[in-house]
Structures are given as structure tokens and as C-alpha cells.
Amino acid sequence: MSIVVEELALGGNGLSVMVKDTIDIAGYPTRASSSALADAPAAGEHAYVVQSVLDAGCRITGKTSLHELAFGTTGLNAWTGTASNPRYPGYIPGGSSSGSAAAVAAGLCDFALGTDTGGSVRIPAACCGVFGLKPTFGRVSRQGVMPAHSTLDCVGPLALDMDRLIEAMHVIDPTFTSIPVPEHLAIGVVAVEANEQIHAVVNQALGRSRFKLLEQTLPGMAAAYGAGMVIINAETWAACGHLLQTGRVGNDVADRLRAASLTSAESVETAEIVRRAFTAEVDAALAITPILAMPTMPDFPLLVADAADTRAALGMTSLVRAFNLSGHPALSIPLESASGLPVGLQLIAAPGADELLCAVARELVRRLEE
């Protein structure tokens, strides 16, 4: 099962890094794990974030596989092979940054870079039992990242612990600084629909964290999820629709692209209205509690054998996609159920408050380990 699609040896002797194959590395093709891009030319220059990694003295050791064209949540890929889930064998690695999450979980690198358009860092992080951060939209440069245009997509790191995730943010975002957790910080626990066992694990962790907990609601989440789907469909069709002409796009992604082609301009306009309303709603909640919390996924990961229908699996993103629409930074912390299955705890912060988000996550994990 393929985690690494290209082995590399670039850079210095610092932290080892693997890079999702939607991010340009000069001299190597960016194929996005798609047969339709099998003959893509080599990238002429490094993506900005890759140059930042190299400038920091890190060593890039490979490009990682993904759900084809980054347009799916399971990570299943018939062309490259599906990345195995090192910690939870038989279960999906999650998508689309499946290879990056699996590489971290397998200990193949110190951190990996993924991209997150509708949960594509946080979902595989939760499935594979690692930490994953979707930074504030625009915080980390997308220059040299596929697709070239997106109002949702963010480059973000995955790592085995919060210290390493914070190191990764220092590398890929020169403006990132470490800060302490403010005294008397309160976390807003958002009421969402999820499996009772998932709620139990998340609520137990939040209770043990000893942070002050307040109840919060985000009534616009369902509408924001739908609007996020409209936007990703319109933007992915614009970026990748032409690849259908090759006849080499996998069936699951080809079906989604054909459905995405039907997205109307009117529905995009309506989605943008929802985007503005939901962004304001989240901002208002964060004015009460500077961190919001909820599960990353509403249920446990699917078994690979049960995950063939990509569109049926999209509900996995019901708790993450809305924050791509709004642009807020969001982070997934790995937890585990009594039955030994992975659970993600998602934290959300205000735009630009990535430092606070990481600081709270690190302190929360520290307290859980006491």
C-alpha cells in the first residue's frame, strides 16, 4: 500500500519532512495521485512552502500519496494504491492528505505537509491518530500548490505531537510565534450531532483538561457545510474538470467531477451569502470563548472494505468543512475510544489566532498526560 509516491533527498540535516503531491517540488512532477496527470511535466520551481522548509534546513524525504486530485475524504486510490493506516490497520487513512497522515503515523518523517479544503488535513489526522492543523485561510502561502485558485484550501502540517506541530508552523510560517496560554481561558463546547461514543471520549477529555467549559451553539453549521460543498465543487470543477477528457480519472472522482459540473452560478452566490453569515456567527461565539471544541469526525473511521462509495462517505466532513468556508484555524487532537478506535478532538480559534490554538492544544494534551 503506497504512502510515499516519490522518494527524495533534498535539503539539510534538520527535521525530516514529507510533502503531499499537490505541492510543487522543482524537478519533480506534481501528479496529485491521478493517472490523468501521469505525464505531467516536472515543476519548474519550488512551492513557497517547500522553499521555506528547505530554507529552515529541513530535509525533504518524499512526496506522499493522496485521494485522487484531493477530491475525496477516504484516501482510497486505485492508481497509487491506498495508503495503509499504520495505527489502525484495516481502517481508511482518511483523505485527502492520506499519505501525509500515514507517513507521520508510521514514523517515516518528523512532520508532513498536507492541504485542507474540506477537512483534508484534519480528517486523516483523526483517522490515523496524529495531530493535524488547518491554519487560518491565507496564513501559509499557497503559491505553487494545486489547485492554483481556491477560497477554501490551506497548507497545514501533521505531526505526532504538539511540540513538533508547533515547530512545523515555525518552519512554514515565518510570522508564527509561540505564546503562553492566557489565564482563566474558557473553551466553548459546541453542540453537534455525533456518535454517542465519540461524544463520550471528547467530553471526557475536555473535562479532564480542567479548562473552564461553556456551552456554545453554531446553528449555521449545517448550512455552512452545504455551502462549502457548493464552493469546493465549483472550484474543483474549474481546476480539474478538463482532466475528464483524458479518460484516466478514477471512477469515484470522475463521478464527483461530473456532478460538480452542474454547480450553478446562482448556487455559488447563495453559498457566498452563507459564508458571510456563518463567519460572523463563529466570530461571535469566539468573542465569548476564544476556543471552540467539538469532535473532528461524527463517527469512527470506516473500514477500507466499506468505503468504496466516496460520495456516501462525505458525511465524515460534517464537523470540519464549515471552517474551511469561514477560514478559521482548526486543529485535530488524537484521542482513542475504549474499544481502541481513533477519535479526533477539534479545536477552533479566531482568524490569525493560530498561535493561541496551538498553545491551548499543547496545554490540553499536557494536562491529559498528567
pLDDT, one tens digit per residue, over 170-214 is: 999 999 999 999 999 999 999 999 999 999 999 999 999 999 999
Predicted confidence (pLDDT) at residue 278 exceeds the cutoff of 90: yes
83, 106, 250, 265 from 69: Cα distances, Å = 15, 23, 10, 23
In one-letter notation, the amino acid at residue 42 is: A
Cα–chain center distance at 61 = 21
Q: What's the pLDDT at 314? A: 74
Q: What's the pLDDT at 267? A: 98
Q: In what order do the strands lie in the sheet with 111-116?
A: 4-11, 59-64, 16-20, 111-116, 154-159, 131-134, 330-336, 342-349, 291-295, 186-190, 212-216
Predicted confidence (pLDDT) at residue 311 exceeds the cutoff of 80: no
Cell output for 236: 474543483
Cβ contact 49:115 at 8 Å: no
User: Which domains does the chain possess?
Assistant: 4-368 (3.90.1300.10)
Cell output for 62: 518524499
Output the average pLDDT for the chain.
97
In which band, very low, low, confident or very high, does the pLDDT at 312 lie, cut at 50, 70 and 90?
Answer: low
Query: What's the whole-number mean pLDDT along residues 250-272?
Result: 97
Considering the chain, what percentage of its residues have pLDDT values greater than 70?
Answer: 99
* Chain segment 76-134, per-residue pLDDT in tens: 999 999 999 999 999 999 999 999 999 999 999 999 999 999 999 999 999 999 999 99
Query: What's the whole-number mean pLDDT along residues 266-287?
Result: 98
Cα–chain center distance at 110 = 17
* Chain segment 129-150, per-residue pLDDT in tens: 999 999 999 999 999 999 999 9
Query: What's the whole-number mean pLDDT along residues 251-260?
Result: 96
* Chain segment 209-247, per-residue pLDDT in tens: 999 999 999 999 999 999 999 999 999 999 999 999 999
Query: What's the whole-number mean pLDDT along residues 27-48?
Result: 98
Cell output for 95: 483523505
Cβ contact 30:69 at 8 Å: no
Q: What's the pLDDT at 176? A: 98
| pTM for the full predicted model | 0.98
Query: What's the whole-number mean pLDDT along residues 312-318?
Result: 85
Rounded to 5 degrees, φ, ψ at 131 are -90, 140
Crossing angle (nearest 10°) for helices 196-208 and 354-368? 90
In one-letter notation, the amino acid at residue 243 is: L
Could you give the CA distance from residue 172 to residue 140 in angstroms, rounded to a whole number? 7
Predicted confidence (pLDDT) at residue 1 exceeds the cutoff of 80: no
